[in-house]
Amino acid sequence: MHRPDLFWKAPLRSLAGALVVTAAVAPASAQELRLPNKDGSIKFAVIGDTGTASTAQYDVGKQMVAFRAKFPFDFVIMVGDNLYGGSASADDFKTKFEGPYAQLLGSKVKFYAALGNHDNPTERNYKDWNMGGQRYYTWRASPGGLGKIGSPGVRFFALDSNYMDKPQLEWVQSELQKSSSEWKIAFFHHPLYSSGRTHGSSLDLRSQLEPLFQKNGVTVVFAGHDHFYERIKVQNGIYYWVCGAGGSLRKGDIDRGTGLTDAGFDTDYSFMLVEIDGTDLSFQAVSRTGQTIDSGVVHHPPFPEAAAPASPLPPGSTMVPAAPVSPKPPAGPTPTPAVTAAPTPKPTPTPAPPAMLSASPPPSPSSSPTASPAPKRKVMPKSAKAKPKAAPKPKPTPTPNP
């Protein structure tokens, strides 16, 4: 019998296999922080598929603020579909991003975004997403702040999984090889592994990226696209997460028969908290109502040795005040269609070529990211231009007899 008050996890197994603890979700009034919360550690949050302006998205934002009071994360990574609708208007940014996360922005928390299939490519120029005008980019995080690409620490690689073209793959290869960071973390929209019935694993993308990740020591990958939380069993030495329920939700969408899932939650919205200290990465996934739906710790493996399964974290002793969330928010608005070519304007006597927003991929950045130009307009050949039709001559009106 299905119990909506319980979250699903794989059966308990020994450390020789994938270890996951089966337990009931704590009530919302008993919100707790399970992370070590050490001084000098790197602390961040993960959200995905957020940009709906739904009640639930605002609830998740409130819950993030409540947990940050006890776990002061410095930044948030966004795994795509940050603005549904495709217009990228000032009002969209206000209602679908600045509003839900106003308190975090006011506390100087930085957001780093990757583009999803519902995002307008021009969003990469929005200053509060720190993309620097790039479709894909990299930066290093450490307790001492940002550093040079060759410095140790944790290096993040934000990719554009909508257009995984040759220039981007070459950039990924080059930047991964140059980095000497102990932790290399990639994040993007389409998951290489997912048990989602709606989308599932992106096999073509996996064939392109996973060999590069394995060869160059990527340890952790975050993605979205499927609207739930899922922790994937270790695949080829890499830890994968799907974190796509920050503002959209597909209830019951996890296919439990794929054999991929170590932990899954698809009955409410969620986000993640992550802490990295030395060779340990601790994680805690939290629902919209403040319930801990998954937690554990993974250890940085010496490549090419296979990564060990996650170990459980004990229940936390730090209590988190409950955030004032709505009791039963709707499942969220149906996502609007992905960004497509702009509608062609009606021809005029001197027609201009219409702007084609996504007829071709945006230009790729160089290996040293700098601001990239906006995508060029697609010019239609002369033979394809619409020629104005000559207006028909009016028929003469017969002169009436006197």
Computed over every residue of the chain, the mean pLDDT equals 79
Query: Is the Cβ–Cβ distance between 83 and 92 less than 8 Å?
Result: yes
Where are the chain's structural domains?
8-319
Gyration radius (Cα) of the chain, Å: 24
pLDDT tens-digit map of 13-58: 333 333 333 333 334 446 999 999 999 999 999 999 999 999 999 9
Burial 208-242 (b: 16+ CB within 10 A, else e): bbbeebeebbbbbbbbbbbbbbbbbbbbebbbbbb
- Beta-carbon contacts of residue 383 (< 8 Å; ≥ 6 apart): none
- pTM of the complete model: 0.76
Fold of domain 8-319: Purple Acid Phosphatase; chain A, domain 2 (3.60.21)
Percent of the chain with pLDDT over 90: 61
Q: Select the more confidently predicted residue: 322 or 364.
A: 322
Q: Which two tokens stand for residue 388?
A: 């104005």
pLDDT tens-digit map of 84-122: 987 788 999 999 999 999 999 999 999 999 999 999 999
Query: Is the Cβ–Cβ distance between 116 and 158 less than 8 Å?
Result: no
- The Cα 247–Cα 112 span in angstroms is 17
pLDDT tens-digit map of 349-361: 444 443 333 333 4
- In this prediction, residue 357 carries a pLDDT of 34
Q: Name 283's bridge partners.
A: 274, 296
| DSSP states along 25-47 | PPPGGG-EE-S---TT-EEEEEE
